[in-house]
């Protein structure tokens, strides 16, 4: 298991809820400052979203 998978499992959410949770956080960041304020977090979320989609 990869480090990303370990971290996603640590969220303690059902597998089908993880992409929804990550999308919610991404939407919040986009609506409250976008790349200027949350650029690094948005990049991290994109990587984790790709892992969650697998």
Total number of domains constituting the chain: 1
Q: Of 53, 52, 50, 37, which Cα lies nearest the Cα of 5? A: 52
How far, in Å, CA of 6 to CA of 51, rounded?
11
What is residue 36's predicted lDDT score, i.e. its pLDDT? Answer: 97
What is residue 20's predicted lDDT score, i.e. its pLDDT? Answer: 93
What is residue 9's predicted lDDT score, i.e. its pLDDT? Answer: 87
- Could you count the other beta carbons within 10 Å of the beta carbon of residue 24? 11
What is residue 5's predicted lDDT score, i.e. its pLDDT? Answer: 84
pLDDT averaged over 10-residue windows placed end to end, the chain, 54 residues = 84 92 96 96 89 66
Q: What is the domain range of residue 27?
A: 3-53
What is residue 14's predicted lDDT score, i.e. its pLDDT? Answer: 94
- Give start and end residues of each alpha helix (H) in the chain: 3-10, 18-31, 34-53
What is residue 2's predicted lDDT score, i.e. its pLDDT? Answer: 84
């Amino acid at each position: 298991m990869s480090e990303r998978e370990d971290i996603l499992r640590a969220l303690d959410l059902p597998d089908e809820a993880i992409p929804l949770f990550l999308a919610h956080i991404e939407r919040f960041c986009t609506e409250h400052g976008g790349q200027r304020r949350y650029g690094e977090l948005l990049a991290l979320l994109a990587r984790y979203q790709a892992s969650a989609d697998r």
